[in-house]
Structure 1
């Protein structure tokens, strides 16, 4: 079972992809995959409904647009420079503890939606990442041993960045990370039980068919359990919140010369077993 949301942007309905490949509308049983869904046993109820054969289910028409697999979260917490080779290509030193920053939730978008190159942008970059979706509230510091049971599932994320906004305009990175369409996730949410080791996954990014990034989540300097433990020192994590866990080397900024994204470029990001994103860059 995989969780999907389908339909017009901003009006998506919840659905599931069954193990036999069928796409099933779950909106007759569940309102949405949002904070309340995860907080009040929605995952367990969905699993029970699927195990019971999805009574009164309706098939989703072929070709239907997929949106992000969960409703817009309360926050998107991102980890900077979490892979050693990327930290080196980024510059500004190797972190000794996780580098935290936020993306505005208005950047939220679906797995095949266009990426909008904002006005004044000339250094648009890509970053494939493993996304972690929180399933149970983390309030107060949680130990690493207790961290992973708080995860609802995993997905593919691309942390798009406008490097000029991020690095040249002062202040925090959020300015270069939060433009509309800069936080696509999907194409589905894979339940945590189906991902026994989040540190054992290959992830990659292609631009116009050319492999740019090719790494392993096991190369993270700070793994998923440590990140949940660390973030919980500073803020509560609510059900449905997203942690974007960092990117391997191979971003446009690190190339010699840099090869930033231009209108018309096609970006494909994938994580082993979790699906792929595919976006076209358009001028916003």
Structure 2
């Protein structure tokens, strides 16, 4: 069981970084700024001493819940409605592409668009946050036990660079510019979401 329910990474007024446990969660609370939360000991949810303390801090700035990532493994056409809107058939095997570590951004960071990018687009996504090292795991080995939790993501794309004549029918180059993968603000424990496939994903702008 994860040591948290709703995990937020933030700075206090002194610019010190903490992980905290949200006491209340509102679907339409977009900033979290001003909330007072209990904070965790340890450097992050992967730390063996990561435990909730009695110390409280006030959120002054919300940070990306993940300080870094080795890479993003992404699935294209993962929503049937999106495939139908695009006039594309669901393939027997998923479309897989990667995003590099530099694509990571916080939920409220500005995304500075490269001058060569055109036809910008965005897609709301559900992100599975892997909680421990694994390799060649099968469903029968209870693969979901490797999931730390879930967070919201934004798959930012330049459709100009995704066009087949420029991409070679590959997704990565159009989606891998700096900060083209904002995530957060909260990681929700997998213990709270027993079946992520039943979630409704929506973006607000």
Class of the TM-score when normalised by the shorter of the 2 chains: 0.7 to 0.9
CA distance in 2, matches of 1:123, 1:60: 39
Q: In the TM superposition, what are the counterparts of 1:1-284 in structure 2 within 5 Å? A: 1-7=5-11, 13-19=17-23, 22-26=36-40, 29-31=41-43, 33=44, 37-38=45-46, 41=48, 45-46=49-50, 49-50=51-52, 54-55=53-54, 57-61=55-59, 64-91=60-87, 93-144=89-140, 146-167=142-163, 168-171=165-168, 172-206=170-204, 267=205
RMSD of the alignment, in Å? 2.3
* Range with bigger deviation, 82-91 or 133-142: 82-91
CA contact under 8 A between 1:3 and 1:14: conserved in structure 2? no
What's the TM-score once normalised by structure 1's chain length? 0.60
Please state how far the C-alpha of 1:143 moved relative to its aligned partner: 2.1
CA distance in 1, matches of 2:202, 2:187: 18
Is there any run of 5+ residues in structure 2 with no aligned partner, and where?
A: 25-34
CA distance in 2, matches of 1:144, 1:72: 30
Deviations 1:118-176 (A, max 9, x none): 21222100100111001122212322561111110000001010011122412331111
Please state how far the C-alpha of 1:188 moved relative to its aligned partner: 0.9
CA distance in 2, matches of 1:65, 1:107: 20
May I ask how many residue pairs the two structures share in their alignment?
187
- Greater relative contact order (CA < 8 Å, ≥ 6 in sequence): 1
CA contact under 8 A between 1:128 and 1:205: conserved in structure 2? yes
CA distance in 2, matches of 1:191, 1:18: 12
What's the TM-score once normalised by structure 2's chain length? 0.80
CA distance in 2, matches of 1:158, 1:80: 13
Please state how far the C-alpha of 1:12 moved relative to its aligned partner: 7.5
Is there any run of 5+ residues in structure 1 with no aligned partner, and where?
A: 207-266, 268-284
CA distance in 2, matches of 1:77, 1:107: 12
Please state how far the C-alpha of 1:92 moved relative to its aligned partner: 5.2
Deviations 1:67-110 (A, max 9, x none): 11122111110000112231233345421111110011101111
CA distance in 2, matches of 1:181, 1:84: 26
